[in-house]
Structure 1
């Protein structure tokens, strides 16, 4: 099968590899759609922290936002999975440690992360092997584009849960990229007044076209009481800015990660009686995201600017935008083309 392999920082190949086999407890999936995200770009540049901590090494096969159809199953797997359209959890815990047994496999110390951590091959290939326990079936109302947006959607949904938003609350999302826009969509679906703060004029104009209550640059951000601030950016200074902006006794959610350490003043957090929530993964939010997409409560398909084949992945990771691409922040890959 063909697969995109990152062999070193900024070095890559589309290789012909042996296809995976369905071992006990696992399935093999024909991949139909894969999203490229900021984590993949950090691997491409060599900045991803896991590379420096020993949790990942080159060569690596990326791809953790995906959907496809089950092609084969292991001997002990229900054969009714064959032919089903699925997506899957990125975080694969050991299943036996204290965290996993408490339902927190996404923070298992020994976890694999699909296409990210401990060498588990990702979905930027024609086929992908996955444990059946990590699969989520997709209803017919969740098409291929939506299916590959479930993983980032799960992060965004958990961010909105962490913000504890109710109808009529005013939320500020820092960052107008994929996660920020998804969080804004989920917050809007809950009846919140939603504002975004971003940087580039292109991203701001795109966010405005989606119909949010306010879209601002930092210099033009209005002085309003914010019931929740969700930091979905990668800017090192914005975690402190979020804490500064939020109303006392309200919530800040940190889902974005900067490439260098961010500093907040815990005196501010305590004196304002603010609750701060960190979000690592989509895992607990996957089922809720599929439900929201299936019902039409949230439709993030406009976020996808273009879909390319495996031969176009390197250009995407290098930051190139194709002439035919739309204004959305997300690029998708179809390994079949």
Structure 2
């Protein structure tokens, strides 16, 4: 078997965590059934981690790098996701047959187990027709009651799978998967009833979901490094802040307007969260605004305040500075 290898010997930024990782991490794949000329690797957490290869079926495409943090997700051709932690070596055989993609994982046992856990959970998503985009659900007229019930089913399923794989899967990768599912489920609680009411013109009170303001009762927000590496979970934290602020306003007979500018969002989030959660949400807010590429001067005073007062993960600052170059 021919092998194409890329070895990247520099430390790359990967978005979260509290220590610098130094162990080499390796992803290799064999890709079949794609018509494109190239095979692409892209990191969900950091655009600095990327590779491309000429697509020759039967060849092994190997990419070695030294991530500064973990966990991380590498996208293969924009669709196939491989969950890894620092020091892992994972091989994936990717077979595309029509719209279906079959994956076979091998390599570091703890990473392989976590990816199999994730595959089982995704299979449950397909069985429930649990779509990732809430707007698609509204367009298909999926009732909020069904969406919320399915979200609860999946929360139970991820706990079941975490227990099944607890002795072999990397605990950090399991935490990432749990955070990923919680983000999808909890956004179904806080976001979908309002979206459905707007799109389908049915009030929340008519949706048969119970008390909207009690749907998140008892939920404990995550603040561990692995969970905060999950972009979906950090996005959920941002949305939850506004949900909780509105809930408090409604409880005293008031009204709430969600912040609509970079500055007001920054102010609201910095006051609501503390510690690592605040660090992650402010970093994500600033990153998203910079990547939008408009009115960059507005971000500069907020970046200074963030660096001086709220930043805990120094790699976040390096990423922000690199985006501004």
TM-score, scaled relative to structure 1:
0.25
Q: Which has the larger radius of gyration?
A: 2
Q: Which has the higher contact order (CA 8 A, sep 6+)?
A: 1
Give the structure with the larger strand fraction: 1
Give the structure with the larger helix fraction: 2
